[in-house]
Structure 1
């Protein structure tokens, strides 16, 4: 599957290169070039910013979007209906598979039957640059200035957002998705079943050796008390899409040896880019993980389980069987506020110190800003209306509908005396917990502007424990002290087409090989001591040097 996907992506980029010569004539070019022809004809139907509905005569937008297991039907969804009533814009949905959406997107782009909007499909900066230069993706730059009332407000409140999404030349091919969630920025946590620690008289581990001893105790001392050795001391999971899983096993523990960002696994020091995965410290981290695996402390399902599989293990009926699971939050592995109560019993421990004193946590400093979530194609006949439609989604009331559901059913306005998590008057009450399968909201899809102050702190605290406050407090205590400097974090980068096309192949080839090798080294399929040199040499043959040079060039340009 990976080889065919890589071949398909290469074919798409090759086809795009062929198309680029004629794209300005055939595909419709930049917004600036269409402003005086087709665009102006539709602009007359669009009301001024701040006035609703957006269009006087109803229009339909064809939108390609990734499916969500938490949303029953986008066509009949409560937020879809509310947004259509407010804007007078109907949506014709093309819902792509939640797991294979990337391949399906490549086919859409290669086939030429473009939707008007590509939404929540994680279009990479490389793809944005390539298709943007060809005019297949339309720049929002001028549209934001004329119609982006809320978007400009975001740029003013968070200047880093505009910087992160702006390609060279100031072109903006994707509207921002902002989720300023504090506990999400320090996201690679290790959840340990606290009642087992208490029963065995163990303290939270503070070193890799203490972590190892804890897992041995989980395996050998029957902490669930059923007389069987059915405990799973440690288990992780894998990603199902292009975004990394916060349950990947290497990240939390590798940070006890060398910094692991959980994504490209790259280092930045004194403005210089380098790879983490060919360093001696990386090798030592793999040897530690292999030790856990060989001794049966790391479960064999770790490299095949998805989020649903992990939740099934953590919520095993009647008997607790899992001791430690890396995850973003309890909602990844348990049923929040569920009957089992395990969402409170699994508690995240602080990063553990490695043999050489390394003790870090992954800081997703720029992860609050997601790129490639809302893109307009050259097939779109309603650019002005599309800009206003997206901009309307940034409104705070729209965010409540988008992420929670219908007012009065899933949320309601705060009542007198309601206080938020920061002790100030609350703005809204949440009536139903997030994370259930439903048909009222888009489950955090669309475009978002969720600020820590307004969206998270503004929610009324109606009962204890309050999960968001709990997440905030434990992140502040256990993870904030171990985050790296901002100068060590690779910022969002754009690459010119000449580099982007080369980078697309290098990026997939190298990172797929690294991820596969992690699994093979940890499971013992590859002997670390015997095969390490060959592994490093293979990376060199894959042109890792050129890969790093391209990144360095983009980092230097960012400065």
Structure 2
């Protein structure tokens, strides 16, 4: 409650308390004079209590002016609260570090609790995409919300905008302006970040996970066995034709040296190819979803170029250059094919692919080496287009719910992550334990980089910090060390050398648009995926591509295009 509102409340209370004295019966007035005075004092004390958030009705609302004034105080020790406070926080926990079973086991959160005075009661759903979404949906339908929810809000029907409109979470603009100086500075210094985290109507609904540096936005691409290339006297391919030459040599020239024709030249991942990495499809200047072409939004899987791409994939499949079991190969099977010296090329992440496999094969096959290849083009020398890249804000963020009775304290607690102290803590951990400053550079210790117990980088740093992602600004210097091998660094540099202007920014849809798009897209995506396999495997002739495109029209692809166009126009106007 601000000063003007406090004064107005006190004035109204004084007038109300004085009303019993305005009577013509003076004798009766004298009789009740003491009672009236006591009533006045009581009402004024209640007004002060309500404004202080000490349990009165005002404290039960979620308005900024009714939050506990304790949250507005600047305490001398830097703490947010003067008395212990516990907040409930819903977030996915997928850690694999031994003895770290929840966020409260992570040293960074333990240090943050000491610094702020706020303890967090973490609520984490069951591990797994389906279980996590189911538990989240049950929580949403119950109406029983924790204080803070960290979630990928595009998965909420209608996104963060609808979650605010439905009264689940609160708009944060005013709170951020008043109580989040660190995050406010990030927004001021990065106009494009503000544009991405703001809805079309100007509201901010979450403290976001931000990857601002371009170095952090790309993490996967095409990769090959470099030792096989060297053995066969081949160069890293850059065009679709060169890829065909390399894959054919992998199949026919026994690069694994076991005198068996057991090599699998290429493993493709339909989900990644059509939704994320875009490997090979990018050569035709489209992706598997919606993209920009000459300033217009198009749906890639119904363009003439998509038919050309499918023809190439079908030809490679017929020649035995693509793993015949690609549609059924999961991550574990992929691992077995790589470490079993069978697979020549695939889409790979720099850490979970190149780094993982080269580390695993170091003792088994010292000659084993992977190389990141450029995203391919059709013509030699052309600039690759539409490689894998992320958005600075992908929709993951911590939102404050309507159930929260300590909004200001929560905002300050979340804002801590965006200051220098919180930034270093959650990206690197504790100085002297998980990192040391070496010539001004936060350098992870040997416990992280050369763990004596054989833990991977992710497992080792998970004891101390959460650099892989949380509501904060991810640090480029984490990624530089995560990609420690020269092959990883080279791959990232290669994959980033792409013209990605055709990717759409993260868009915000109205509740009605979101509901309609979800209904249409579910069937369209299923049909797209089914026909991809049929075309590639030759079960469906590409002579029927026009019928396929017409079916997409009947399923409502043009309506989806209009929804995308409207959302994009609003984004441009933000």
Normalization by structure 1: what TM-score? 0.79
Alignment of 1:481-520 (within 5 A): 481-484=497-500, 486=501, 488-520=502-534
Residue 82 (structure 1) aligned with residue 105 (structure 2): no
**1:99 pairs with one of 129, 149, 158:** 129
Residue 179 (structure 1) aligned with residue 193 (structure 2): no
Residue 52 (structure 1) aligned with residue 78 (structure 2): yes
In the TM superposition, what is the alpha-carbon distance from 1:166 to its structure 2 partner? Answer: 0.6
Is contact 1:161–1:176 with CA below 8 Å preserved after alignment? no
Change (3 A) 1:516 1:249: farther
Whichever of the two has the greater Rg, that structure is: 2
**1:214 pairs with one of 238, 246, 267:** 246
Change (3 A) 1:275 1:113: same
- How many residues are matched? 497
Once residues 479 and 549 of structure 1 are traced to their aligned partners in structure 2, the CA distance between those partners, rounded to angstroms, is: 32
**1:277 pairs with one of 301, 316, 322:** 301
**1:542 pairs with one of 555, 558, 561:** 555
In the TM superposition, what is the alpha-carbon distance from 1:346 to its structure 2 partner? Answer: 0.9
Quote the residue 2:349 is aligned against: 328
Change (3 A) 1:191 1:473: closer
In the TM superposition, what is the alpha-carbon distance from 1:255 to its structure 2 partner? Answer: 1.1
**1:295 pairs with one of 290, 307, 319:** 319
Quote the residue 1:4 is aligned against: none
Quote the residue 1:163 is aligned against: 195
Is contact 1:255–1:358 with CA below 8 Å preserved after alignment? no
Change (3 A) 1:556 1:247: closer
In the TM superposition, what is the alpha-carbon distance from 1:326 to its structure 2 partner? Answer: 0.9
Quote the residue 1:551 is aligned against: 564
Once residues 218 and 75 of structure 2 are traced to their aligned partners in structure 1, the CA distance between those partners, rounded to angstroms, is: 37
Give 5+ residue unaligned stretches, structure 2. 1-56, 450-456
Residue 152 (structure 1) aligned with residue 155 (structure 2): no
In the TM superposition, what is the alpha-carbon distance from 1:138 to its structure 2 partner? Answer: 0.9
In the TM superposition, what is the alpha-carbon distance from 1:446 to its structure 2 partner? Answer: 2.1
Is contact 1:238–1:306 with CA below 8 Å preserved after alignment? no
Once residues 306 and 178 of structure 1 are traced to their aligned partners in structure 2, the CA distance between those partners, rounded to angstroms, is: 30
Quote the residue 1:19 is aligned against: none
- Superposition RMSD on alpha carbons, in Å? 3.4
In the TM superposition, what is the alpha-carbon distance from 1:90 to its structure 2 partner? Answer: 1.8
**1:426 pairs with one of 441, 445, 451:** 441
Residue 439 (structure 1) aligned with residue 467 (structure 2): no
Structure with more helix by fraction: 2
Is contact 1:78–1:439 with CA below 8 Å preserved after alignment? yes
After the TM superposition, which of the residue ranges 355-364 and 228-237 deviates more from structure 2? 355-364
Give 5+ residue unaligned stretches, structure 1. 1-27, 240-244, 419-424
Once residues 259 and 509 of structure 1 are traced to their aligned partners in structure 2, the CA distance between those partners, rounded to angstroms, is: 21
**2:286 pairs with one of 234, 256, 259:** 259
Quote the residue 1:340 is aligned against: 361
Is contact 1:232–1:323 with CA below 8 Å preserved after alignment? yes
Quote the residue 2:36 is aligned against: none
Q: Note the alpha carbon deviations across 1:189-215, whole angstroms, 9 max, x for none.
A: 111110000001112223212212211
Normalization by structure 2: what TM-score? 0.77
Once residues 511 and 343 of structure 1 are traced to their aligned partners in structure 2, the CA distance between those partners, rounded to angstroms, is: 41
Alignment of 1:270-419 (within 5 A): 270-314=294-338, 316=339, 319-335=340-356, 338=359, 340-341=361-362, 345-354=369-378, 360-363=384-387, 367-414=391-438, 418=439
Once residues 471 and 381 of structure 2 are traced to their aligned partners in structure 1, the CA distance between those partners, rounded to angstroms, is: 41
Residue 65 (structure 1) aligned with residue 88 (structure 2): no
In the TM superposition, what is the alpha-carbon distance from 1:481 to its structure 2 partner? Answer: 4.7
Classify the secondary structure of the residue corresponding to 1:195: helix
Classify the secondary structure of the residue corresponding to 2:210: strand
Classify the secondary structure of the residue corresponding to 2:308: helix
Quote the residue 2:51 is aligned against: none
Once residues 427 and 324 of structure 2 are traced to their aligned partners in structure 1, the CA distance between those partners, rounded to angstroms, is: 35
Is contact 1:237–1:307 with CA below 8 Å preserved after alignment? no
Residue 196 (structure 1) aligned with residue 224 (structure 2): no
Change (3 A) 1:340 1:208: same
